[in-house]
């Protein structure tokens, strides 16, 4: 039986998405290591300088190098995406598994009630409200997204756990007297990894897009730079006929989101084929 990686490698679009993400991830790693993007706040040229050998993407209103800011923003995107994805996916997976295993119990009802309340509130309004309430805290935006993103993962995992609960291997685990905690975390949840992985890529995309929107509104990144802040700066520059900030941030954001969307689709197809074969 072919592995998921082998199936993914045979998918041209999936590999294209993988390579796009790898390029941005490498840029983020180089920024975190201090080798790239460290001069994003330095005024290294004149106002709105055009593309040149010194400034490959030109400069902004303050004379800061747009390429340096674009590279540093890649690290910002991955920092937000990774932290939000890991926390919200973990929270959603655990709560979804508990709700599915203890279906129709008070715990299931409580989790579904909390999920229903959060889902009934307009997403961006709720995220913006939390970010605004915790303004000044560098983790405010992250917390807002974690609180709002876990619900979809929980709903999907709950349904899968309810299905898996009827499988023979679960009945066998019950028969030999394993406690529910062991069955859930050692036997049931590993069989949801294909769903969790695909959902994580979707959450990563959502986190990046939300960060851009909140930063554009002034509720996101405070002590740094991101593509959202670059787009906010460009709103005045475009009126003056300068498109460097807008083009760099928009193209970088577009490419990274396309990469994740291509990879997520291919992962889902590869894992579905593996399950159908098995």
Half-sphere exposure in the Cβ direction for 104 (13 Å, CA):
1
Decide: 229 and 217 in contact? Cβ < 8 Å: no
Helix, strand, coil percentages in the chain from 3-state DSSP, rounded to 5: 75, 0, 25
The per-residue pLDDT for 91 is: 95
Please state, as a whole number, how many other Cβ atoms lie within 10 Å of the Cβ of residue 95. Answer: 23
pLDDT for the residue numbered 133 = 78
Q: Could you tell me if 96 and 155 are in contact, meaning their C-beta atoms sit under 8 angstroms apart?
A: yes
Which domains are assigned to the chain?
4-37+56-277 (1.10.3720.10)
Q: What is the pLDDT of residue 153?
A: 93
Q: What is the pLDDT of residue 136?
A: 66
**pTM score:** 0.85
Provide the residue count of the chain: 278
CA distance 164 to 46: 62
240, two tokens:
């003056």
Per-residue pLDDT of the chain (278 residues; tens, 9 = 90+): 357 667 777 778 888 999 999 999 999 999 999 888 888 878 777 777 777 787 788 888 788 888 889 999 999 999 999 999 999 999 999 999 999 999 989 999 999 999 999 888 887 787 778 777 776 677 888 888 898 899 999 999 999 999 988 888 888 888 888 888 888 888 888 888 888 888 998 899 999 998 888 888 877 787 788 998 888 888 878 777 778 888 899 999 999 999 988 888 887 777 764 444 44
Beta strands in the chain (DSSP E): none
What pLDDT, on the 0 to 100 scale, is given for residue 100?
92
Asked if residue 123 lies in contact with residue 209, where contact means CB atoms within 8 angstroms, the answer is: no
Identify the pLDDT of residue 5.
67
Instruction: Give the per-residue pLDDT at 107.
Output: 92
CA dist 84 and 174 (Å) reads 35
């Amino acid at each position: 039986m072919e592995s998921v990686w082998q199936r993914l490698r045979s998918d041209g679009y999936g590999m294209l998405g993988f390579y796009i993400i790898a390029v941005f991830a490498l840029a983020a790693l180089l920024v975190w290591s201090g080798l790239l993007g460290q001069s994003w706040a330095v005024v290294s040229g004149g106002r709105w300088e055009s593309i040149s050998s010194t400034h490959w993407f030109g400069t902004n209103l303050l004379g800061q190098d747009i390429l340096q800011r674009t590279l540093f923003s890649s690290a910002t995107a991955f920092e937000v995406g990774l932290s939000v994805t890991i926390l919200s996916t973990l929270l959603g997976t655990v709560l979804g598994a508990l709700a599915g295993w203890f279906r129709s119990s008070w715990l299931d009802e409580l989790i579904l009630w909390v999920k229903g309340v959060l889902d009934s509130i307009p997403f961006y309004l709720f995220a913006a409200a939390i970010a605004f309430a915790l303004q000044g805290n560098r983790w405010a935006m992250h917390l807002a997204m974690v609180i709002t993103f876990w619900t979809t993962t929980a709903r999907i995992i709950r349904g899968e756990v309810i299905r898996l609960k009827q499988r023979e291997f679960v009945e066998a685990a019950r028969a030999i007297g394993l406690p529910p905690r062991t069955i859930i975390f050692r036997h049931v949840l590993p069989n949801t990894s294909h769903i969790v992985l695909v959902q994580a890529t979707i959450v990563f995309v959502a986190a990046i897009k939300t960060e851009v929107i909140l930063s554009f509104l002034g509720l996101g990144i405070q002590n740094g730079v991101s593509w959202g802040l670059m787009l906010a700066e460009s709103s005045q520059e475009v009126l003056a006929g300068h498109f460097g900030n807008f083009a760099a941030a928009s193209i970088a954001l577009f490419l990274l989101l396309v990469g994740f969307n291509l990879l997520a689709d291919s992962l889902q197809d590869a894992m579905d084929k593996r399950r159908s074969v098995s």
